Amino acid sequence: MANHCNGNSDHSESFVKIPPIKFTKLFINGKFVDSISGKTFETVDPRTGEVITRVSEGNGEDIDLAVKAARHAFDHGPWPRLSGSERGRIMMKFADLIEENIEEIAALDTINGGKLFALCKVMDVPSAAKTLRYYAGAADKIHGTVLKLAKGLQGYTLREPIGVVGHIIPWNFPTIMFFMKVGPALAAGCTMVIKPAEQTPLSALYYAHLAKLAGIPDGVLNVVNGFGSTAGAAISSHMDIEKVSFTGSTEVGRKIMIAAAASNLKPVSLELGGKSPLLIFDDADIDEAADIAFRGIFFNKGEICVASSRVYVQEGIYEKIVKKLVEKANAWVVGDPFDPRVHQGPQTDKKQFEKILSYIEHGKREGATLLTGGKQLGQKGYYIEPTIFADVKVDFLTNSGET
């Protein structure tokens, strides 16, 4: 059985001072504003299942307002007309501000998404700054091509910003994915409307605040909190959005493609989930292979699109690998993600928590062998023991369904 550390919010204060929540509204045209409907929704701390705060709930009307701001900023504002080096300079300032606020941003992703505070400080948030700097450096290196044509003619290609883009961010890496999408769009000179995952909106709103401080003009970067079925659907089908980028489930990706095609045939970039297999053969180093297999699924509490959630091991080393994996699971510390001793925090939200527990029950009913784990840890919060099944058949839900 995995070790468990206390996950209550009072206990966290002994490790780090949790900052107050500063931004809960929509960010449109350079200002934090209430939603048109006045509606709000709860954002929950997965360590306890308790409400952190309420954030404004945007819908189609708010998306439309944000798109109008982005459209005006693109058609008439300075951002697409700045030189690439000037856009890059402002993006560099944005990156500097992120680094100056690492502690606060990391704490937001920890209380909102259950991510390990220490890992956010050394990986997620610094990665955001590095991504911005990478694309800032690319902003003045957008080149076309000169082509030699027939009869002494020459042609050339010119790369231009596509216009207003919509970004729909997942909940498992709210910081990293925010800048994987926003970075190149800013560098190209695009303006944008961003919908963070409804589970993890807090860091996105903080980044909107920093964008304003960095000097990104009003209307260029807009953040609309909301749900996929309303705000996300409005982005996908909006006639004045020229491109959509989405990271999330295959099911929702299909819906976005359909909406994009049915509206203005906007191009769509999709990064979707799956059930990634890991193959281990007899000539592998046992310790290294077991470590890769274990971290491949339990890193970020398994909430990663490329998690190696299926492991196929050749017969000659099968028993040794299984033994190693069970030992690692039993030594894995689950608990308060602010605690530096902890390896795994809570699942991001109640829905994901219940989905994983339902898959575990499916595995038991289908006849797979539960080697370790399989239960909730603690009395509150969304903690689950590291769980390993053996004897899983190809048609079992635990082998085919993405958790």
Rounded Cα distance between 359 and 300, Å, is 18
Rounded Cα distance between 184 and 180, Å, is 7
Q: Are 2 and 345 in contact (CB under 8 A)?
A: no
Rounded Cα distance between 38 and 49, Å, is 25
Residue 13 among the catalytic residues:
no
H/E segment holding residue 243: strand 243-248
Distance of CA 391 to the CA centre of its chain: 32
Please identify which of the residues 305, 315, 366, 385 carries the catalytic annotation. Answer: 305
> 């050339």: which residue's tokens?
156
Please identify which of the residues 271, 288, 327, 361 carries the catalytic annotation. Answer: 271
> 């990665």: which residue's tokens?
127
Record the tokens describing residue 4, joined without a space.
């468990």
172 secondary structure, DSSP code: S
Residue 305 among the catalytic residues:
yes
Rounded Cα distance between 284 and 259, Å, is 46
Rounded Cα distance between 146 and 111, Å, is 52
Residue 290: count of CB within 10 angstroms of its CB: 24
Rounded Cα distance between 398 and 403, Å, is 9
Record the tokens describing residue 299, joined without a space.
């890193």
Q: First vs last Cα of the chain: how many Å apart?
A: 21
Torsion sign, CA atoms 111, 112, 117, 122: negative
Give the residue numbers marked as catalytic.
271, 305
